[in-house]
Amino acid sequence: MSQNEKPTIMDIARITGLSKGTVDRVLHNRGEVSKKSYAKVMAAIDELGYEPNLYASMLARGSARSVALLIPVHGRGSFWSVAVAGVEKAKEIVGPLGIDVEVFEYDQRDIASFRSTGQKMLESEPAGVVLAPMFGDETKLLIDNMKKRGIPYVFFDSKIEDDGYLAYFGLPEFKSGYLCGDQLTGGLPVDEVLVVRLQRDPLRQSDPTVNRRAGFKAYLEEHNPDCIVRSLFVDPDDPDRTDQELSAFFAAFPGTHHIAMFNSRIHLIVPWLERNPALARRVVGFDNLDANIAALRRGTVSTLIAQHPDEQVSLAVQALSEHIVFGKNPVRRDNYMHMDILTRYNAEYY
């Protein structure tokens, strides 16, 4: 065998004097093998540097497994569409381990949809789950079900503090909100701030940005304690209504010149702001969606705090796969990703 050739099962059989079938049973843990034969095979593996094809061996045993990604229904160019792009990248890495990824989608404005999709996901018997918590109490019930079934799970984008998650990949939520406060005010006195929020489910049980808001408020309490923070809820599917509510708000509070939005959809209020350019001095949002970047380049949005949800999903799938196949836990449980500050001057290089 030349230096460049990879050793095979036949090579191990030749060195040990055992049959190919016996070597195969040792490598794949199938059937009874004597201690003497087992020791011979292990010694040959060390000598030859044999690396088994895990994917092929798992498929041969019918044990290829699936990781589930639980995510909202999404349109092209949305935050979630960027996140799902991480699946293909992950598949290239975990496919050889016999891991597939199945995506389950729910309506993020409908708690019943989340519940039924979660149940469908559990019925598929995934080997692990990647999810971004949306409905807090309902997510906790789903997590309890996963724990009972012994299904490991990884959070991305945001997380629920509990003692069972394998890992988290995403921004440090509280600190990202704190950073938003700094970018919005620059540490200078600001009298009034508008926080634009999305209308989600009717009971507001879906609140994925709660920790970002907490960090934002902490910054203001520390650096600008007299600042008044007002909230305005807008319907992401009704731009005309959004325009009307913004007009009504600024008619009532014309002294508000600083606006923050903690989700990925600052672009929803951009059309109104561009028709009323004198009202907003600073506008800060999150995530480098195409519509957000375009508004940033035009100067309507002052700053974007960006992340890479595709990278988060890919790393989450990889961490789960290594845990499933090798029993390996991530080096760090909380894997905080970098917070990138984008302005009109550096956005084109991101």
Q: What are phi and psi of 101, to 5 degrees?
A: -125, 125
Please tell me the predicted confidence (pLDDT) of residue 52. 60
Q: What is the spatial distance between Cα 115 and Cα 108, in angstroms, rounded to a whole number?
A: 11
Please tell me the predicted confidence (pLDDT) of residue 41. 82
Q: What is the pLDDT of residues 255-311, one digit of tens each?
A: 999 999 999 999 999 999 999 987 778 999 999 999 999 999 999 999 999 999 999
Report the 3 state secondary structure along 116-149.
Answer: HHHHHHHHCCCCEEEECCCEHHHHHHHHHHHHHH
- Using DSSP's 3-state secondary structure scheme, residue 20 falls into helix
Residues 6+ apart with CB under 8 A from 285: 260, 261, 264, 265, 266, 267, 292, 301, 303, 304, 305
Helices (H), the chain: 9-16, 20-28, 35-48, 54-60, 79-94, 111-123, 136-149, 173-185, 210-223, 239-252, 270-275, 290-298, 309-326
Residues 6+ apart with CB under 8 A from 221: none
Q: What is the spatial distance between Cα 230 and Cα 235, in angstroms, rounded to a whole number?
A: 17
Average pLDDT by stretches of 10, the chain with 350 residues? 66 86 73 79 79 53 78 93 94 88 94 96 96 92 95 95 93 97 94 93 74 97 96 95 97 95 96 88 95 96 96 97 90 94 91
Cβ(296)–Cβ(183) below 8 Å: no
Written as one string, the DSSP assignment of 59-79 is HHTT--EEEEEEEE---TTSH
Beta-bridge partner residues of 305: 286, 341
Token pair, residue 80, equals 């979630």
Alpha carbon distances (Å) from 16 to 8, 41, 138, 155, 235: 13, 7, 56, 47, 70
Q: Are strands 340-342 and 303-306 parallel, antiparallel or unpaired?
A: antiparallel
Alpha carbon distances (Å) from 84 to 71, 129, 318: 8, 14, 14
Beta-bridge partner residues of 260: 195, 284
Residue with tokens 């007002």: 230
Please tell me the predicted confidence (pLDDT) of residue 25. 76
Token pair, residue 99, equals 């891991």
Please tell me the predicted confidence (pLDDT) of residue 202. 65
Please tell me the predicted confidence (pLDDT) of residue 261. 97
